[in-house]
A = this chain, B = another copy of it.
């Protein structure tokens, strides 16, 4: 027997691939600060956890393939609060944002079709594309200008007869970039002219700093047939383990097609949907407090990075990641060295080499992604470890 070509081609997760080094280090009794993965330490809302505590059905039964009606009704209300006007029929609940993207890709592209995506991008987009037989075509953006969207000409130059969609992550993981309404409109204009879908990953909607606002792809006028939004409660409610996301589109043909795929896998988890549903009416203060907390962390990490000679980064506008260019040749080698060689008081720090977030060979080799998801005290220690470690590494490399 053989493995499939896609299994051979499939990239191992660059976020998770250094875990064996981290585990070995931990087994030696060394504490590792994890800045490599977007697992927030914010408490999951009590309203959500109470749903698990109070579940009182006798049978944990299948739900509808489209998602529980009560949850979809609540989602309509949630989106309305965010100035997105949709109906329950425009929503399919999924097993996290991951499944939302896979099912969308299966519905909109044939084997070998292309999706244009600004790079660096959430590395698992690559995996989802491999799984669905699509090809990601990178639209390179740069740390020096905060990963701003390139010119319309540049974007247009990547379009071929095989292009089926442009995919965005807004706010951006791993970049922290937030696209303005005029930028989203510009993308929509390109998509409209070339008859493309725009798939917009908006899971960090609430994480925008400095009073900025979010523009959903569903906010764009006369764009209903092109616009597909994917979403997740993982970051919003610090509920990564619930695995609840959704696909939202007003394009009925697309939703009918996706529902056929969704029916094959029967339904997303039942209690987890009910738990997510209970969060819809969280007070605005809930997000305000969380945002204030992340904002402190963002400033701390950014200020610490500014202290290091040769580091290039702008202050991110959204999400909870920052990409920094380092004065090293190979950031993965540095990351492994930190895990295996560098200790201060039996502590070290882990972060994600950024090369895996690029599709263009060679790009990002000297960049890292830092997730600022630890409380300030730990984050401070982690960043000092990072700075001292980098200085030491440079002495010997």
Please give the residue numbers on chain A whose beta carbons come within 8 Å of chain B beta carbons, in ascending order.
1-8, 10-13, 16, 37, 39-44, 48-49, 52-55, 58-63, 65, 95-96, 98-99, 102, 106-111, 113, 124, 126-128, 130-131, 133, 164, 195-197, 225-226, 238-243, 251, 253-254, 257-258, 260-261, 263-272
Contact = CB atoms under 8 A, between A and B. Distances in A.
A42 B59 contact: yes
- Of listed A3, A53, A58, residue having the most chain B CB within 10 A: A3
Contacts of A4: 106-110, 113, 164, 257
A125 to B, nearest CB: 9
A264 B98 contact: yes
Contacts of A44: 58-60
A127 B260 contact: yes
Nearest to A237: B60
A89 to B, nearest CB: 13
A269 B241 contact: yes
A113 B1 CA distance: 12
Number of identical protomers: 2
Nearest to A41: B59
Contacts of A128: 264
Contacts of A5: 110
A237 to B, nearest CB: 8
Given A3-B257, A11-B260, A13-B263, A240 B61 contact: yes
Contact of A3 (B65, B102, B108, B242): B108
Contact of A240 (B11, B62, B239): B62
A86 to B, nearest CB: 19
- Of listed A62, A111, A164, A260, residue having the most chain B CB within 10 A: A260
A270 B257 contact: no
A226 B1 contact: yes
Contact of A55 (B53, B124, B263): B53
